Each structure stands twice: as structure tokens, then as C-alpha cells.
């Protein structure tokens, strides 16, 4: 009986990870089965390990002990850690494979406001140092390495990083190490984060790095608009990632795709690829709705962004890079975008700067090509496009199709500014007057614009055969 149950569970997990994720020729399919997420044969409550949900008692040991106990079931169908309603104060803790961390309605996990409860760990190899400071970095509140089949979900429970103390330390120059994320999973396959609210992260909120098969869905992510570097979701050197149906208001980029920093990212050579961002709404007054880079030295490709709605914000979509980054950004398709009161709708920055140390190679130039914007609309726009490439390293095959951006009447700046960028445009208002842009895409240039021809789709690792793509 036990053996037959284990066989059933293995088949079920394989149906999820190797069916839902892999059955469409290696591309990402965003649908998932609730039965797989909800069913774990072993379940315990955090209260069984002495946790107290009063918002004052530190429960780090309770989380650690519960997960140590549940790890014995990882090869017996997996386990569920139930967090009931209450305020559960904790420091950093490690997740395990084949786990569901479930936050019930009214449950809040609170990050400790003492830095001692956020251990210090080594820098990521693709960064070579902490992102903010040389050397090591604080570990995230919810952390894990080399895991399989991890689900963080619930009935819209909350994970609150209580980051204001970290923001003050950062502004006052009082930090010895880079600030922590709320969630960071490293080298993990099969990760789902859904149906939760994230508040006040000390640094980036959700950081899957060196991961595969990641679904981020139905999240609300909030931080004050002036909070420093509180990115929403940052897929980093990861592949097969889906981010959808999220509302994000933060002090930095809502979503930022990364893949390592200068010589460290080039050496580690772990790209981000096959990423879908769908139905994201939000605001950022300092940064971008969707950013690629600036840390993109391992390469970024096959990115699909659809149904983005950004309001009262600084920048809509931005690609950031610099001499010394190396790497590439190619095969990006952006469609069905709405901007309202956005200062810079589309921005490319070729000289972003910010290097980890003096050892980068300034001759390591990035390749930026085949970026398509289709069906983009906006009103109350300050500048339609600031497209700044790199001298001697043109950004090429940048395409705009059916783009209407209503620029504010009192704007004194030209709607489009281009340098070292070359591409094509059709049905664009205000018209792109840069000499480096052709006025028509069809029929002769459609193959140069990613996502606009069957030829391009067939070349994109089988994406043209994917229901994921065809459903668009």
C-alpha cells in the first residue's frame, strides 16, 4: 500500500513538472494544477513547534525545527507547513524540497528588525560581491538552495519584511553588508509563489536566482514609493519563468530581469531565458515598470511581456547596460501595454555604469538586438522614447509597431531621442524622426523584428509550437 502511494505521488509530481512545464517543447506553460499544490500527505502547524503569533515572540527556532522535522517526509510525498492567523515574528529560515509553506487568511510572517537574525552569507558567484557593498550579504528572510518542488502560497496571507529599519541603515551608511531580500531561492527547480501579499522588503522582494520552472502569480507587492531598491520580482539567471496577475507598487523596478554582473556574470555564463510577464499593474516613481538589466552579463533572451499597465510612474520599460557588461539582450516582445502619466515611456540606457570593481573589461560590449514593441498606448507621457545605445556598439533591430503615446502638451522635450540605435517603425505616433529608424516594417523588414514573423518564431527554441505563445 505504501509503495503504491509513493508511485502515485511520483507520477503526480512528474505530471506537474514534466507535463505542465515541459510538454510544449521546452517552453513555459503558465497553468498549473491546484491539486498538486494543495495536496501534501503530511501537514503540521507552526504552533506545534512552540511558535507564538503575538508579533513579539521570536519564532525562528520554531520555523527551523518544523522544517527539520518535515524534511523527513520529503521522500514520502512531501509536506505542508501551516501558518495560522497571527503575527509570526521570525529571523531567516531555510526551506526544504517538496514543501508547501501555507499562510492562512490573517497570517503574517514578520521579519525581525534585528540584523543579527538575518545571517550573513557569501556573495552570488555571478555577482562576485554583495550588490550594494563589497564582500558578503545578508541572507533573505525565506531562503533555500538546491531544492525541488517548493510552493509558497496561502489564503492571501502576508509576508512583511519590516524593512524601514534597513532603509534607514542604508540611507545613513550604517550597513556592513548588502541588505536581504524577503524571498531568495537559489538553484531551485519547480518554484511557485502565489496568492500572497508582500510588504516592506529590506531590499528586492522576490529573487529566484539560477532557478528553473518558476511561477509567480496573484501577488500584491507593496513598499513606499521612496523606499530604496525594493524591486518587486527579479528573476536572475533563471529560465522558464512566468510572472502574472500581480499588483506591484514599490520604490524601484516592478520586475527586473537580470543575469549577473560584469566579469562575474560573463564567467558564470548563466542566462535568463523564456520569461513571460503577463497582466502586471503598478506604479514606481523612481524606476521602471519592467527593466532588463543592468546586470545582464550572462545574457537575456526570449522575453514576452504582455498586458502591462503602469500609472503615475517614472519609466515604463527600460533596458539598462554598459560597456564592461558583455552579454546580450535579444528576442524581446512587448505587447498590449497601457501607460498613464508616465514620464519616460520607453528607455534604453547604454552607459548605465555601476561596476562591481575595477577588474571589468571595458571592451566587453553587450549585444542588444531584436526588441519589438507592439500595441503600446499611453497618455500623459513626458517623453515617448529615450533610446541611447553605445558608440561603436549599436543596438539594432529595434521595432515599433502600432504605438501611440500622447505626449503632454507642456513638454518642451522632443518626443523621441535616439543615439546609436537602429530599427524600424510603423504606425507610430508621435512619429519617430530619428534617421536611424526606417518608416516601414512590412513586408521587407518583418523578419528583422522579433515576434512579427513565423520565421522568427520557428527559430526561438520551438516557441512557435507552444500553446503558451499561440494563445497570445
Catalytic residues: 252
CB burial readout 330-353, b (16+ within 10 A) else e: bbbbbbbbbbeebbbbbbbbbebe
CA–CA gap between residue 313 and residue 67 (Å, rounded) = 41
Q: Is 62 helix (H, G, I), strand (E, B) or coil?
A: helix
DSSP state of 131: S
CA–CA gap between residue 30 and residue 13 (Å, rounded) = 16
Q: Is 427 left (phi over 0), alpha (psi -120 to 50) or beta?
A: left
CA–CA gap between residue 417 and residue 240 (Å, rounded) = 34
Does residue 316 contact residue 281 with C-beta atoms inside 8 Å?
no
Q: Is 246 helix (H, G, I), strand (E, B) or coil?
A: strand
| Lookup result for grid cell 491546484 | 34
DSSP state of 372: E
Give counts: helices (H), strands (E), the chain.
7, 28
Q: Is 130 helix (H, G, I), strand (E, B) or coil?
A: coil
Does residue 361 contact residue 322 with C-beta atoms inside 8 Å?
no
Residue 311 has φ and ψ, to the nearest 5°, of: -135, 150
CA–CA gap between residue 269 and residue 264 (Å, rounded) = 8
CA–CA gap between residue 250 and residue 205 (Å, rounded) = 10
Does residue 162 contact residue 121 with C-beta atoms inside 8 Å?
no
CA–CA gap between residue 439 and residue 163 (Å, rounded) = 48
| Lookup result for grid cell 520565421 | 455
Residue 249 has φ and ψ, to the nearest 5°, of: -130, 115
Amino acid at each position: 500500500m505504501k509503495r503504491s502511494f509513493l508511485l502515485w505521488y511520483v507520477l503526480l509530481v512528474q505530471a506537474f513538472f514534466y507535463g505542465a512545464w515541459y510538454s510544449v517543447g521546452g517552453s513555459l506553460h503558465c497553468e498549473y494544477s491546484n491539486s498538486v499544490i494543495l495536496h501534501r500527505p503530511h501537514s503540521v502547524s507552526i504552533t506545534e513547534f512552540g511558535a507564538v503569533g503575538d508579533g513579539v515572540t521570536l519564532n525562528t527556532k520554531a520555523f527551523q525545527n518544523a522544517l527539520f522535522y518535515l524534511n523527513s517526509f520529503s521522500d514520502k510525498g512531501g509536506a505542508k507547513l501551516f501558518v495560522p492567523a497571527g503575527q509570526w515574528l521570525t529571523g531567516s529560515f531555510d526551506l526544504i524540497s517538496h514543501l508547501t509553506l501555507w499562510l492562512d487568511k490573517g497570517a503574517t510572517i514578520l521579519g525581525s528588525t534585528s540584523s543579527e537574525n538575518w545571517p550573513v552569507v557569501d556573495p552570488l558567484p555571478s555577482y562576485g560581491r554583495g550588490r550594494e557593498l563589497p564582500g558578503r550579504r545578508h541572507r533573505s528572510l525565506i531562503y533555500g538552495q538546491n531544492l525541488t518542488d517548493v510552493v509558497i502560497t496561502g489564503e492571501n496571507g502576508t509576508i512583511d519584511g519590516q524593512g524601514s529599519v534597513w532603509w534607514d541603515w542604508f540611507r545613513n551608511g550604517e550597513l556592513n553588508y548588502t541588505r536581504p531580500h524577503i524571498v531568495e531561492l537559489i538553484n531551485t527547480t519547480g518554484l511557485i509563489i502565489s496568492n500572497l501579499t508582500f510588504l516592506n522588503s529590506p531590499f528586492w522582494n522576490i529573487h529566484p536566482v539560477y532557478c528553473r520552472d518558476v511561477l509567480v502569480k496573484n501577488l500584491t507587492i507593496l513598499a513606499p514609493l521612496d523606499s530604496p531598491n525594493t524591486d518587486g520580482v527579479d528573476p536572475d539567471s533563471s529560465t522558464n519563468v512566468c510572472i502574472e496577475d500581480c499588483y506591484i507598487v514599490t520604490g524601484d523596478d516592478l520586475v527586473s530581469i537580470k543575469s549577473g554582473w560584469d566579469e562575474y556574470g560573463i564567467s558564470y555564463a548563466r542566462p535568463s531565458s523564456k520569461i513571460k510577464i503577463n497582466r502586471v499593474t503598478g506604479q514606481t516613481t523612481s524606476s521602471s515598470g519592467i527593466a532588463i538589466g543592468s546586470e545582464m552579463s550572462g545574457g537575456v533572451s526570449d522575453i514576452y511581456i504582455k498586458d502591462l499597465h503602469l500609472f503615475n510612474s517614472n519609466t515604463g520599460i527600460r533596458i539598462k547596460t554598459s560597456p564592461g557588461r558583455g552579454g546580450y539582450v535579444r528576442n524581446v516582445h512587448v505587447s498590449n501595454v497601457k501607460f498613464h502619466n508616465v514620464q519616460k515611456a520607453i528607455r534604453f540606457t547604454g552607459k548605465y555604469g555601476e561596476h562591481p570593481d575595477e577588474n571589468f573589461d571595458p571592451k566587453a560590449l553587450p549585444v542588444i538586438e531584436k526588441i519589438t514593441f507592439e500595441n503600446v498606448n499611453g497618455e500623459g507621457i513626458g517623453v515617448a522614447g529615450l533610446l541611447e545605445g553605445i558608440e561603436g556598439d549599436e543596438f539594432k533591430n529595434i521595432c515599433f509597431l502600432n504605438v501611440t503615446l500622447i505626449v503632454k502638451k507642456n513638454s518642451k522635450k522632443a518626443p523621441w531621442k535616439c543615439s546609436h540605435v537602429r530599427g524600424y517603425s510603423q504606425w507610430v505616433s508621435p512619429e519617430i524622426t530619428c534617421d536611424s529608424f526606417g518608416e516601414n516594417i512590412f513586408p521587407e523588414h518583418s523578419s528583422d523584428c522579433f515576434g512579427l514573423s513565423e520565421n522568427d518564431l520557428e527559430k526561438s527554441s520551438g516557441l512557435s509550437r507552444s500553446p503558451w505563445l499561440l494563445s497570445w
